[in-house]
Structure formats: C-alpha cells, structure tokens
Amino acid sequence: MSRLVHTIKNAWIALTFHVLYVLTQFISRNIFLEYLGDDFVGTTGTIKSILQFLNLAELGIGAAVGFALYNPIFNNDRNKINEIIGYLGYLYKRIGLIVLLVAIILTFFFPVIFANSAVEDGLILYLFIALLASNLISYFFAYFLFLLEADQKNYVNNIIGQTSFILKLLVQCIVLYFWQNIVLWISLEIIFSVIYVVVLRNRIQKIYPWLNFKFKTTKEIRRNNGLLLQKIKQLSIHKIGNFVSNGTDNILIFSFINPESVAFVGNYQLVMNNLNTLLNKLFVGTNASVGNLVAENNLKTMDKVFWEMMALRFFFAGITSIGLWLGFDGFIILWLGENYLLSKPILLCFIGIFFILQVRQPVDCFKQAYGLYGDTWAPLVQSAVNLAISLLCIIQYGIIGVLFGTIISQLIIVMIWRPYYLFKYGFKWPVQKYVKGFAFHLLLLGFTGLICFIPLNLIDMEFESNFVTYFFKLLSSCLIFTTIYFLALRFLSKGFEDVVKRFMNFFMNKINPKNKIDQE
C-alpha cells in the first residue's frame, strides 16, 4: 500500500472521530460552565497547564523514538523494533517515577499557587491527583502506541482514544446533570484512562503478535541506543521550550489577572486548539511518510513533497483564518453568550498564533524526520523571549500582552531559525530557496485576502438566531475566498499544482484501477 493511501486512511479516520469529539466537547463545555462555574473551569485549565510541564508525552520521547523506528520498520527488522520499544518502556517507567516525585513536592505549594481560587483546596488536590494519575497510567502502560504512529497505523489509536474521550465527556455530563457530583466527575478521568489503556494494549497485541511487552533492557542495549538517548535529551529541551512558549499563558493569566479570565481564554483556546488539531488530522500520516522518505534519501522527491505540504498548509490555514475572523464572535455568542466575548485585538492574536502553528508544520515534520534536535539553545531563547515580553506587557495590556509574547517568540525561533536550520543541516539546500517559496505563498494569501476584503466584510455574522443560519452564512462567505484562493494556488503555486494532480490520480485510480498510477 502506497504512502498516499496510508496517509489518506489515517486522515479520514482521524478526521471523522475528531469531529465527533469536537462536537461532544463543545456541548460538554457548555454544561461544565453551567454546573461547575467559571472559577472551577478556570482552575481546571490552570492545573492542566501545570501538568503539561510534567507530561512525559510532551517531552518529545515519542517523537525521538519515531525517528529511530523509521529505518527498522522500513527494513522489517522486528528484533530492532522490540529493542527500541523495550528501551522506550525502560525510559518511561523511570522518568515517570521522577515526575511523580516532582508532582508530590509541587502539591505542597498549592495553597500559594491557588490562593486566588474560590475552589476548595481538597477538590483542587484531588483534581490534580486524578489528572496526574490518568497521564501516568498511559506512560507506564501505553508507551508502545508510538509504534502505531511510526508504522502509519495511528488510526487504531485514534479510534480507541477518541471513542474513550467522547464516552468520558458524555458520562461526565450525565453525572453533573443528574447528580451534580464533582468528585465522581473527577474520578471519571482515571476510570476512562484505565479503559483506554486496556483496550489499546489488547488491540496492539493483535496487530503485532511478535511484539514483546516484557522485553528486558540490558546494559548492552542501553549502550547501543546512546544516540537515541541523546536525541531524546535534545528533543526534551525543545518540548520544554514549547511548553514555556505555549503552555504558560494560562498560568500567567491565572496569577496576574484572575481564574475567571482563564475560563474565558480557555473558551477561545478550545476552539483554536480543536481547529488546529482538526487540520493536523488531515496530515496525520505524513510524519511517518516523510520519515520513510528521508530514510530513502530521495532529495528530488523530498523537495516536491515539502512544497506540496507547504502549499496545502497555507491553503487550509488561510481559509480557516478568514473564517475565524468573520465568524468567531458570532459563534461565541450562539455557543456561550455575549458575556464570554473577548476583544477583537485578542481574537486577532489568537488567529495569528493559529496561523503560525499551521504553516510551521512542514518544517517541523522534516526536521523531526532528520532528527535535527541539536539546536538546544533555540527553545531556551524562545522561552526567555516569551516570558520576558509576557511579564512586561501583562500588567499594562492584560491578556493581549501574554499572547503578544507568544507570537514574537514564535516568529523569531519557529518562523526564522528552524527553516534556516533544516535547509542548512538537513536538506543542505540554499536557505534562499525557502525564503522565496514561503514569501511567495504568504504574499499570494495576502493578495487574495485584499481582493476579498470588501465583499467579505459586508456580511454580518454576529447576530444570527441559530447555528444553521450562522453556519450557512459563514460557509457562503468563506466559499468566495476559498474559490479565489484555490484558483490562485492552482495556477501559480507549483507545490499546490503537484498535490492536486497527486490526489486526482489517486481518485482516478480508485474509479478505474486498470489505469493505476504509482503514488509512491
């Protein structure tokens, strides 16, 4: 089965289940705000931000292991795969104990951290323990799921994981609606984490019957995987830097403003994060495909695929950003009410962060496939710039000051340094090639936006009485921009032209298999 077929299969399954998850999440958010209150929801968001720092899955171990698995999977080396997965389990279990110890120490500072919260100290502690336990359960018993992603079978994890999350949210809503039992609501976090891990483990055993779940990691194996450990350490610094840049916003807002503001910002983050995840689901199989591509070392194909990915990211990011600007306020009013609206400059900052998160992905994807994590200074600089600007601006400008720090730090490191690093040390191509290609796509998006600016702003999206009318008007207005932007990219962007041809060939092959064209 070709890389394109694997990518499409992963994408449509991930997309379908995530849409169901998003719908459930929006409905449950409304119920949570009504029955738990802004203060409790804001406090919960802050605890989750704190846990991001302790979240092993975000430390990049899985990504580094994915990099190490591409070649063994390509060569069907089962012994090496068992060795890497076993070594991964060895690392997760030991680091998990360290995380648990740090978490215990952190709880002694909760009276200071949550001094401004109206939530009872006992509930805060139990919520923290429940969320921490649900994470640690996955780390100790579900570390092997990274094999699915590297093997382009991540749809298995998506089906099980998203189904578990959806059921959890539905049961939590039922608990609040009928019994208003907050303790049981919190306990469901642990219960469904256990269910998820048990089901996932059984499924992986069926897919990989040769996988040894009790693989013993010897000293020799640890020595042989020294390079992998080095990559993990480097990537861990990068992920910690990303946390400081993206995960500290809620903590700063909680500390310098109030818990209610965290809930307000959390509503915006919920929409933006889900849209970001939704678009990423369309590309869910590309990381493994790019990993295989780098393993083959076909520079001509890599160049072609890179610009296809870049053009596609610009296309989806551009359409979504326009839709957010036109319809976000109207959506918040219909979903939660006018009281939950934030200012237009804050919305613009959120859209800017969302756009950066999208168009950075092709560079991040190839950088990961090459295992380029040696620039450990970069996330430290990004973190320092972000915190410095946020702390300087939050007192005078409030929420927008925090978001401004995030944007500036990402522009410096993510949008300028990382492409330079990839092109010089990965592709070994002139950096000017990237600058010209990226600038072209950015200017084309800006030019299309200017053409559509007047007709799009004539459409009033804010005061529709129901979601059906609202979405109809939003889709109608976005269709104007989408049509013009699609045609502009189709005839002016070589990358977009190539990807359109690739998908046309794929679907023609499905209709007429006799004329099959190799999509490798």
pLDDT in tens, 243-267: 777 778 888 999 899 888 999 999 9
Beta strands in 145-298 (DSSP E): none
pLDDT band of residue 497 (cuts 50, 70, 90) is very high
- Residue 2 pLDDT > 70: no
At residue 517, the pLDDT reads 44
pLDDT band of residue 406 (cuts 50, 70, 90) is very high
Q: What are the tokens at 253?
A: 């807002």
pLDDT band of residue 491 (cuts 50, 70, 90) is very high
The type of residue at 324 is L
At residue 248, the pLDDT reads 82
Percent pLDDT > 70 in the chain is: 91
Q: Is 28 exposed, middle or buried (0-12, 13-18, 19+ CB in 10 A)?
A: middle
Q: Rounded CA gap, 210 and 118, in Å?
A: 52
At residue 374, the pLDDT reads 86
- Residue 516 pLDDT > 70: no
Q: Which of 158, 139, 145 is nearest to 211 (CA)?
A: 145
At residue 60, the pLDDT reads 60
DSSP-derived secondary structure letter, 463: T
Angle at alpha carbon of residue 482, lines to 478 and 486, rounded to 5°: 180
Q: What is the pLDDT of residues 58-94, one digit of tens each?
A: 466 666 677 788 789 888 899 989 888 888 888 888 8
Q: What is the pLDDT of residues 95-123, one digit of tens each?
A: 788 889 989 999 999 998 898 888 999 99
Decide if 398 contacts 96 (C-beta within 8 A): no
Mean pLDDT of 344-356: 97
Can you tell me whether residue 373 is helix, strand or coil?
Answer: coil
Q: What is the pLDDT of residues 21-60, one digit of tens each?
A: 889 999 999 999 999 999 999 999 889 888 877 765 446 6
Spell out the domain ranges in the chain: 1-229, 297-513
Q: What is the pLDDT of residues 161-179, one digit of tens each?
A: 999 999 999 999 999 999 9
Most confident of 102-116, 291-305, 378-392, 429-443: 429-443
Supply the mean pLDDT for the chain.
87
Q: What is the pLDDT of residues 179-220, one digit of tens each?
A: 999 999 999 999 999 999 999 999 999 999 999 877 778 788
pLDDT band of residue 432 (cuts 50, 70, 90) is very high
Residues in the chain, how many? 520
- Residue 453 pLDDT > 90: no
Mean pLDDT of 264-289: 86
Q: Is 107 exposed, middle or buried (0-12, 13-18, 19+ CB in 10 A)?
A: middle
